Amino acid sequence: MITSVFSKSKPINFIIVAVYVSLLFVITTYTLLFSDLNAAFSTLFKWVMTLFLIFLLDFVVAKNNLSQRNSYAIMTFGLLLGIFPEAMTHLDLLISNLFVFFALRRLISLHTKLNIKKKLFDAAFWITIASFFFFWSILFFALVIVALIYYSQNDFKNIIIPFIGVITAVMLLLIYNVVMYDEYFRTTDFQRFASLDYTAYNSKKSILKLTVLFASFVWTLIYYFKNIPDKNKKLKPSYFIIAWASIIAVLVAIIAPIKNGSEYLFLFAPFSIIMANYIEVISERWFKEVFVALLIITPIIGLML
């Protein structure tokens, strides 16, 4: 039933996901919405950012033919937010994730072989900007290296371009600091807090959510890699970039200083694309429904624990 609704790419599917996420957002941030005016505006901005991420995911998947004509990617993204609603409450993570996704979008589109230098510059630039809001997102710069391996092995100019993008972003940070604070670097720039303390996960609710997340991720990722050889030769590098993005996102979550579920936000977009590719190749309809239903009932069971 659920998968049949999202089996086609229709505007109504985006509306369904947007309404679901909006209701989820109101429930999660109810107290902030009706507190002081500044908190309300900040909360509404987070809501807009979340919906924009969903729209951008839908656009990138359709534009680059990363799945068949369906809405499984945005469906999965919405369901993941249902499991980890905390991801919608951290503005710095939302902004950083948005910039990382801008970079991922540029790297994925390299398969067109158009404006390669500009896309490499943009990707490095956006990832560096993302690191200003959440430092460990700088790890996604590895995706630029992966893209260079696939697309620019013998072009020295293309190897230099991403580093120019990094320098440009840092120069903009210096200019901003000088204009606003009359200093080049501030103590808050590039804060490198990390944590390997996982005691926050020591609850039945957290264990359930993480078990479902990683079991689903590992299962679908195996099938994703298995099916890449059958994909369009031109798009294969894009599929590998998405896979690497998901693995880096897990690494970011492992070392993130905050351990409340929001740290997995970077995983949502690449995992949603991987999940969409998996669901569309499952022949047994009942298994599709069970798989999706698992993502739906997880937060419900979590509330009961």
pLDDT tens figures, 171-210: 998 888 888 777 766 666 566 677 787 888 888 888 899 9
Q: Nearest to residue 280, comparing CAs of 19, 52, 74, 67?
A: 67
Q: What is the structure's pLDDT at 201?
A: 86
Give dist(CA 49, CA 55) in Å, integer.
Answer: 10
Q: What is the structure's pLDDT at 149?
A: 85
HEC readout, the chain: CHHHHCCCCCHHHHHHHHHHHHHHHHHHCHHHHCCCHHHHHHHHHHHHHHHHHHHHHHHHHHHCCCCCCCCHHHHHHHHHHHHCHHHHCCHHHHHHHHHHHHHHHHHHHHHHCCCHHHHHHHHHHHHHHHHHHCHHHHHHHHHHHHHHHHHCCCCHHHHHHHHHHHHHHHHHHHHHHHHHHCCCCCCCCCCCCCCCCCHHHCCHHHHHHHHHHHHHHHHHHHHHHHHHHHCCCCCHHHHHHHHHHHHHHHHHHHHCCCCCCHHHHHHHHHHHHHHHHHHCCCCCHHHHHHHHHHHHHHHHHHHHC
Q: What is the structure's pLDDT at 166?
A: 94
- The packing angle between helices 91-108 and 141-151, to 10°, is 0
Q: What is the structure's pLDDT at 304?
A: 67
Q: What is the structure's pLDDT at 54?
A: 93
- Ranges of residues in the chain whose predicted pLDDT is under 70: 1, 32-35, 152-154, 184-192, 303-305
User: 28 with 89: CB under 8 angstroms?
Assistant: yes
Q: What is the structure's pLDDT at 257?
A: 87
User: 253 with 264: CB under 8 angstroms?
Assistant: yes
Give dist(CA 140, CA 122) in Å, integer.
Answer: 13
Q: What is the structure's pLDDT at 286?
A: 77
Q: What is the structure's pLDDT at 118?
A: 92
Give dist(CA 255, CA 123) in Å, integer.
Answer: 23
Q: Nearest to residue 6, comparing CAs of 74, 89, 92?
A: 74
User: 301 with 208: CB under 8 angstroms?
Assistant: yes
Give dist(CA 101, CA 123) in Å, integer.
Answer: 9
Per residue in 270-289, pLDDT tens?
999 999 998 888 877 777 78
Q: Nearest to residue 116, comparing CAs of 62, 63, 160, 170?
A: 160
Q: What is the model's pTM?
A: 0.92
